Amino acid sequence: MYQNHPLNKFYNAKISISDKNAVVTLLLRPDFHHAADAVHGSVYWKLLDDSAFFAVNSVVDDVFVLTASFTIYLTKPISSGTLIAKGKLVHATRSQFIGESILYSDKDEEIARGSGIYIRSKLNLQPEMGYRL
């Protein structure tokens, strides 16, 4: 589902999902930069949200999960290399989940962090949308 989405084909990010965890990696390119020649914050947000979202989604196998809110903290600019976002599920109720993620450089420097609230939708997960267990 993740790898085949057109937006993810543009980014060419890779994902690994396990129980309550997800890791998203992205090789940086100049077209991710803003005018000051560093990676735009939208790229940080995408990786942080994707890794936290799929950490949450790893425990929900019947419906699509939605991001209700997400807060990020940008701690260091970066312009080259690979970014690694490590997300985890930190709290769950029947209908609401809290996911957190930390974004690292390939030199193990913390670049950003974020946390979000995710909710269960009414949209059933189906193979037609690329969903597989």
**130 or 125: which leads in pLDDT:** 125
Question: For the chain, which residues make up each domain, given as ranges?
Answer: 6-129
Q: What is the SS3 string spanning 95-107?
A: CEEEEEEEEEECC
Q: Which residue carries 């312009």 as its tokens?
A: 79
Q: For the chain, give the mean pLDDT.
A: 90
Q: Choose which CATH entry (3.40.50.740, 3.40.50.300, 3.40.1160.10, 3.10.129.10) describes domain 6-129.
A: 3.10.129.10
d(CA 43, CA 133): 27
Give residue 7's pLDDT band: very low, low, confident or very high (50, 70, 90).
confident
Give residue 12's pLDDT band: very low, low, confident or very high (50, 70, 90).
confident
Residue 51 has pLDDT above 70, yes or no: yes
The pLDDT score that the predictor gives to residue 78 is: 93
pTM: 0.90
